Amino acid sequence: MNVPPVCYSHKRNRITDSPISYFMKMALENPHLISLAAGLVDEGSLPAAAIARATDSILGNPATAKAALQYGTTQGNASLRDRVLRHICAMDGVTPEAINLSANDVVLTTGSQQLLYLVGEILLDPGDIVITEAPSYFVYHSLLQTMDVRVLTVPMDGEGMDLQALEERLHHLEKTGQLDRLKLIYTVDYFQNPTGLSLSTPRRQKLVELAKRYSTKHRILILEDAAYRELRFEGPDLPSIKRYDETNEFVISSYTFSKPCAPGLKIGYGLMPQELVGPIVDLKGSHDFGSSNFSQVIIERLMQTGEYHQHVEELAKTYRRKRDAMLAALQSNFSDWPEVRWTTPAGGLYVWLSFPESINTGPEGTLVGKGVEEGVLYVPGEFGHVAVEGNVPTNEARLSYGVVTVDRIPEAIRRLRRAADQLGLS
Ligand code: PMP
C-alpha cells in the first residue's frame, strides 16, 4: 500500500535546514577540525564541583529535595525571580524598589531562547515587521522565519546599532504607512553574537526614546537580548537598555544562565512590562508549564552561597585569556594583510573577522572548504545576515573562542591563514 505523505503545517514548511546542522555535520565528518564555530562555553570552567555540592545539599534534605523534584509554577520559583531581579538591578546600580519593579515582572524560562520564542509568539503575526541589527544572532533569524515576519535590518558600527539608520527606517515606515506592522526591535546589546560589539551608553537611552516617539498607534517594543552581559572582562559595565525604560513599558530584557553558568541547566529569565507577563506565562503553560525546577533550585543555591558570582569572575578571566590569545594570533598571522580586519570584544565569546570582498567565506565559498581541509571551522558571516534585503556580505566570519582550549587557538588561526593563502588572493 502506498503510504500518503505527511501533511505538515505552514509553520513547519517555513522552517529551513538550520545552519547549526551544517556545522554539526562538518564537525562529525572531520574530527581533526578545531572548531571556532560552536557557540559552546568553556568546558574546563563548567562549575561541576559547585553544582555537585549544591545538588548533594538539596537532595540530602527531604524538604528541599521535594521542592526540587516536584513540579514548580509556570512563571518560575518566586524566590529565584526575586534574586535575578535584584541581580540585574545591582548591575544597573539601583534597587527594584527604587524603580518600581518586582519579582512579578520576571518570568523564568527554559533558556533565554524560549523567551525569544514566546515573545515572538505573543506579538507577531505573519507580515509583521521586526527590526534587527545586521548582522545578528542567526538562530533568532530562523525563529523569525518560522513566524513569517518581515525582517528589516539596521547596520552596526563600533558603538552597536546605527541609530541614525534606525531613525531613517522608522521615518520611512511611517511615511509609507507601514509603521503599524512594526512590533519589535531586537538587539543583542552586550558583546553581540556575532560581532562582539556592544551598544554604547548614549545609544541605549536614544533607542528607548525612538521606540517611544514612534509608538503612535501601538507600542513598539525593544527586545534586549543581554545573554552575554556578565561575560565582561574589560571596561565598565554598561547600563541596560531597560534602565532607560523608566516606566517599564517598552523594554523586554532577556538574560540567561547558559553563558555565565552552565547551558545544561537551561534556565533563562526575562524582565518585562507587567502586562506582557500574563500572556507569556499563559503561552509558556502550553509549552512546558514551567522550566526545570531542579535547575532553578540549583541556581538559587549557587547565588545564595556566592559561588555563582565567584564563578562568573573566574570565567571572565578565562575568556579574557582566550580573547587575548585569539587577537595575538590574528595579529601575527594577518597583520601583513591590511584589508583583513577584526573586532576587539571587551567580553563575550566572539570575534568578527572581515576579509576583502574577493574572499568568499560563505557556505558555498571556497574559504570554508579550504578551512576544513586545513582543519579549522568558523561560522560564515552570511548566516548572521538576512537574505531578504539585497546584498548580503560574503566576506565575513564569526570566530568563537568559547569552547576551543587556549593552547589550540594559535594553531586554529594559523590554519585559517593557510586556508586563505591557498586561495592565492592575499
Ligand atoms: N541569545 C543569544 C544572543 C545567544 O547567543 C544564545 C545562545 N547561543 C541565546 C540567546 C540562547 O541561549 P539559551 O537558550 O541557552 O539561554
Final residue belonging to a domain, choices 278, 306, 334: 306
Ligand 1 site, CB within 6 A: 39, 111-113, 137, 188, 193, 225, 227, 256, 258, 263, 268
Note whether 39 and 92 are same-domain residues: no
Kindly state the cell numbers that stand for 43. 568546558
Note whether 359 and 301 are same-domain residues: no
Helical spans, DSSP H, in 155-292 = 163-175, 201-214, 274-287
Residue 406 Cα, ligand 1 centroid: separation in angstroms?
23
Residue 254 Cα, ligand 1 centroid: separation in angstroms?
9
Query: What is the span of the domain harbouring residue 412?
Result: 10-46+310-422
Number of independent structural domains in the chain: 2
Task: Name the nearest CA neighbour of 236 among 98, 91, 95, 86.
Answer: 91
Asked if residue 5 has a cis previous peptide bond (ω within 30° of 0), the answer is no
CATH code (residue 14): 3.90.1150.10
pLDDT at 387: 60
Atom of ligand 1 nearest to the CA of 263: 15
Residues 6+ away with beta carbon under 8 Å from 336: none
Helical spans, DSSP H, in 194-337 = 201-214, 274-287, 293-305, 307-334
In a domain, 1, yes or no: no
In a domain, 404, yes or no: yes
In a domain, 4, yes or no: no
Task: Name the nearest CA neighbour of 276 among 52, 105, 91.
Answer: 105
In a domain, 359, yes or no: yes
Q: 25-29, 57-61, 233-237, 269-273 — which is least confidently predicted? A: 25-29
Note whether 281 and 330 are same-domain residues: no
In a domain, 186, yes or no: yes
Q: Kindly state the percentage of the chain with pLDDT values over 90.
A: 87
Distance CA 231, CA 146 (A): 30
Residue 57 Cα, ligand 1 centroid: separation in angstroms?
29
Note whether 252 and 369 are same-domain residues: no
pLDDT at 390: 66
CATH code (residue 167): 3.40.640.10
* Model ipTM value: 0.99
In a domain, 3, yes or no: no
- How confident is the model over 340-356, as a mean pLDDT? 97
Ligand 1: residue whose CA is nearest its atom 8: 39
Ligand 1: residue whose CA is nearest its atom 2: 227
Note whether 84 and 122 are same-domain residues: yes
Note whether 117 and 225 are same-domain residues: yes
- Which of residues 383 and 412 earns the better pLDDT score? 412
Residue 113 Cα, ligand 1 centroid: separation in angstroms?
6
Final residue belonging to a domain, choices 256, 275, 306: 306
By most ligand atoms within 8 Å of CB, the mutation choice from 118, 119, 193, 261 for ligand 1 is 193
What is the pLDDT confidence band of residue 366, given thresholds at 50, 70 and 90?
confident
Q: Which residues pair with 131 in a beta bridge?
A: 152, 185
Note whether 243 and 382 are same-domain residues: no
Note whether 211 and 113 are same-domain residues: yes
Residue 267 Cα, ligand 1 centroid: separation in angstroms?
11
Q: What is the DSSP letter of 105?
A: G
Final residue belonging to a domain, choices 282, 306, 330: 306
Note whether 194 and 316 are same-domain residues: no
- The pLDDT tens digits for 57-102 are 999 999 999 999 999 999 999 999 999 999 999 999 999 999 999 9
Task: Name the nearest CA neighbour of 295 among 49, 67, 102.
Answer: 67
